[in-house]
Amino acid sequence: MAIEIRPVSQAETKEYLRVLPYVNGFPQEEPEPSAWYAGSAAWLPQVQKTPAELEQYAEELLTDWFRPQAAFVDGKIAGGSAIVSVQVTVPGGQQVALGGVTSTAVLPTYRRRGLLRQIMSAMLDDCRERGEFLAGLSASEATIYGRYGFSPATFQHRWEVRRTDVAFRSEFTDPGALELVDHAVAAEVWPVLHEQVRAVRVGEISPLPGKWDGLGGLPADGSGPAHHLIHRDATGAVDGAAIFRLPWSPDPEQAGVLQVEAFEALTADAYRALWGLLLDFDLTKRVVAARRPVDEPLRWMLTNPRALKLTRTRDNLWLRVLDVRRALEARTYAATDSLVLEIHGEGRWRLDATPDGADCTASDAQPDLSMSVNELGSLYLGGVRASELSYAGRVAERTPGAVSRLDALLRPDRAPHNAVGF
């Protein structure tokens, strides 16, 4: 069996696409309702693409931001994946290049032969060559990607609340105004709003080309057309927006549900005004919101915080640190301290951290803490505490108190969150 791992040519794009689940109709997501999906069922059914759709995908495949790799076995493509070029916001506000792993699959007849490991190795090498010191992905199956150094770094909640249970703690006078708009206006609003959000939100990802296309389309799960709500401040500038659906159901238990598919607010006024309407929409009885941050402040605005019930929690962005020095120097820290970190397979590094930045240098000193690159990926954005991983036996404290010191350095103002993926 001759194996070759390499990028695909334009002439090979159709064969490459036939390996991928979203084209061949094989499962592409765990059969569980996800926290990034507001519906009540599992994610969308697997549908094999038509020849016309395959032709269209093949024509659009090779771009400067989509970098596919394939495993050729005896000259035939048996597996494939790709890297997309995006940016992620790290603590301190810098937006750094991220190699986003996507479209990953091996044909069932070629599995358990190490093909994915070789594909992943080639893609991570490609990231390093392009200067991307972080790689990321959203894991369709949680047991696969830890073996390649990835680990969860951001998380999402899905929550729901009965409309009749909602009451806000205080009166609110909106200095701005809410407006229902069509999808054409929404398509103009969302790219601008998202850029403003990702400039200040740790963990947020730059959108792929075409992200905001098709906002007026009907989803495949039958949840009905999207409705678009925006908030304007006192000057008329848009400072918040939401996308929601009102799916019809013959089941009384599922009828009258308002699904919030996307929600962003730049100000507390916009946040309060948008949720104020969405949680009190006439002729609805339940609101479900997906892709929500784990530190959602809405709960604390309600007279009954138990009204907001978490129904799903899931990891979202998994990170893999490819260059320890560059990664640790790219972000800022919540305190001033120096620690020697031993990263298995990546050496020992002295981190001299401050709120303004850091220096990271190779060191021969005894380490204060030891961990693998997986743990470093989870810790990097501040969404996972070193003390959690230490208690789980995944971070070893060599100097007493070093775990608490690392927690103090990495402590975020808010939990990292990314609302868009790749």
pLDDT tens digits for range 283-295: 999 999 999 999 9
3-state secondary structure 172-211: CCCCCEEEEECHHHHHHHHHHHHHHHHCCCCCCECCCCCC
Position 291 scores a pLDDT of: 94
Contact 114, 145 (CB under 8 A): no
Position 222 scores a pLDDT of: 62
Residues 333 and 405 both lie in one domain: yes
More confident site: 301 or 1: 301
Question: Smallest Cα–Cα separation from 286: which of 157, 167, 160?
Answer: 160
Average pLDDT (19-40) is 80
Cα separation, 165 vs 154, in Å, equals 29
Cα separation, 265 vs 200, in Å, equals 12
Question: Is the confidence at residue 175, as pLDDT, over 90?
Answer: yes
What does the chain come to in residues? 422
- Record the pTM: 0.93
More confident site: 210 or 154: 154
Share of the chain above pLDDT 90, in %: 80
What's the pLDDT band for 297 if we cut at 50, 70, 90?
Answer: very high
Question: Is the confidence at residue 44, as pLDDT, over 70?
Answer: no
Question: Smallest Cα–Cα separation from 151: which of 363, 348, 292, 343?
Answer: 343
Position 43 scores a pLDDT of: 65
228 lies in some domain: yes
Contact 101, 32 (CB under 8 A): no
Position 219 scores a pLDDT of: 67
3-state secondary structure 219-260: CCCCCCCCEEEEEECCCCCEEEEEEEECCCCCCCCCCCEEEE
Question: Is the confidence at residue 220, as pLDDT, over 60?
Answer: no
330 lies in some domain: yes
What's the pLDDT band for 262 if we cut at 50, 70, 90?
Answer: very high
What's the pLDDT band for 63 if we cut at 50, 70, 90?
Answer: confident
Position 251 scores a pLDDT of: 80
The dihedrals phi and psi of 397, each to the nearest 5 degrees, come to -90, 115
pLDDT tens digits for range 363-411: 999 999 999 999 999 999 999 999 999 999 999 999 999 999 999 999 9
Q: Which residues are annotated as a binding site for acetyl-CoA?
A: 112-117, 140-141
Query: Hey, which residues are catalytic here?
Result: 145, 422
Cα separation, 100 vs 86, in Å, equals 7
Across the strands, what pairs with 11? none
Position 101 scores a pLDDT of: 97
Give the full edge-to-edge strand order of the sheet including 3-7: 3-7, 66-73, 76-89, 95-106, 134-137, 318-321, 151-152
The total number of structural domains in the chain stands at: 3
Residues 235 and 351 both lie in one domain: no
Pairing of strands 369-371, 337-343: parallel
Residue 40 structural domain: 3-132
pLDDT tens digits for range 91-134: 999 999 999 999 999 999 998 889 999 999 999 999 999 999 99
The maximal CA–CA distance of the chain, rounded, in angstroms, is: 71
Query: CB 144: neighbour CB atoms within 10 A?
Result: 14
Cα separation, 376 vs 318, in Å, equals 11
What's the pLDDT band for 332 if we cut at 50, 70, 90?
Answer: very high
Query: CB 68: neighbour CB atoms within 10 A?
Result: 23
CATH number (domain holding residue 239): 3.40.630.30
For the chain, what is the mean pLDDT? 93
Residues 323 and 298 both lie in one domain: no
Residues 376 and 274 both lie in one domain: no
Residues 61 and 7 both lie in one domain: yes
Q: Which residues are annotated as a binding site?
A: 112-117, 140-141
How many CA within 13 A on the CB side of residue 16?
Answer: 24
151 lies in some domain: no
Say which range, 28-32, 36-40, 170-174, 362-366, has the weakest mean pLDDT.
Answer: 28-32
Residues 251 and 323 both lie in one domain: no
Last residue of a domain, one of 313, 331, 359: 313
What's the pLDDT band for 46 if we cut at 50, 70, 90?
Answer: confident
Position 28 scores a pLDDT of: 75
Residues 114 and 168 both lie in one domain: no
Helix (H, G, I), strand (E, B) or coil at 305: helix
Question: Smallest Cα–Cα separation from 138: which of 335, 319, 324, 263?
Answer: 319
Cα separation, 415 vs 422, in Å, equals 20
pLDDT tens digits for range 263-279: 999 999 999 999 999 99
Contact 268, 250 (CB under 8 A): no
More confident site: 155 or 249: 155
Residues 197 and 308 both lie in one domain: yes
Residues 172 and 195 both lie in one domain: yes
Question: Is the confidence at residue 70, as pLDDT, over 60?
Answer: yes
CATH number (domain holding residue 397): 3.30.1050.10
